[in-house]
Amino acid sequence: MRIIAGKFARRKLFAPKGLLTRPTTNRTRESLFHLAENRRGFAGASVLDLFAGAGTIGFEALSRGARSVVFVEKEGRVLQVARRNARKLDVEDQCIFLRADAVRYLRRYKGPAFDFIFADPPYSLEAMQEMPSLALPHTAEGGRFILEHDRRIFFDREPAHPDLDVSRSYGRTVVSVFRRAQAMVPDSATAEHASRPVFS
């Protein structure tokens, strides 16, 4: 796995051994970031990387100018690989690593809002249809939620999801970008991130 663009372009990342993760392909990742960047730049952005795996998405965001990334991954061995990648890129001070279930994390999170939330869950995730409604309340004004999902999951069929901005297919994978249709979190939630997210 390599970083595609930005200050770490072409830098190689460590990958977990075995079948613990399903890394986003370079083609899909490039398209994913193209869709996101066309709607808001990454300079100074706060990012949440759900189902983070080895952190490829989050480190790509840092390479493109993001200020900070929170990585959420439930597999401890995989999260350790993400930590190794942060050390390799010398960005540990911009990263928070949390071993947690991503869906439960969203349901309990009460911290500051994020400019971008990325999620690349298992295609069999039972809560897939809920993901936009779970994630969007934690996006800042003008922020985006970017979800990778199987083409058999539809958000763009009539009636389309009210917060869907754009949806693109790449083989079996679909990338859907959502934007909050209206304010869903208090203004105070857009304040500067604390050193750790807050839970109830």
pLDDT of res. 187: 40
Cα 186 from Cα 41, distance rounded (Å): 23
Coil, helix or strand at residue 159: coil
pLDDT of res. 104: 97
Instruction: Give residue limits of the domains in the chain.
Output: 26-185
The CB density around residue 134, as the number of other CB atoms within 10 Å, is: 20
30 vs 68, residue with greater confidence? 68
**Rounded to two decimals, what is the model's pTM?**
0.86
**Strand-pair partners of 168:** 175
Q: Which CATH architecture has domain 26-185?
A: 3-Layer(aba) Sandwich (3.40)
The H or E element spanning position 106 is helix 102-108
Please write the tens of the pLDDT for every residue from 113-130: 999 999 999 888 999 889
Residue showing tokens 């390799």: 88
Please write the tens of the pLDDT for every residue from 11-45: 999 998 765 555 667 777 888 888 887 767 899 99
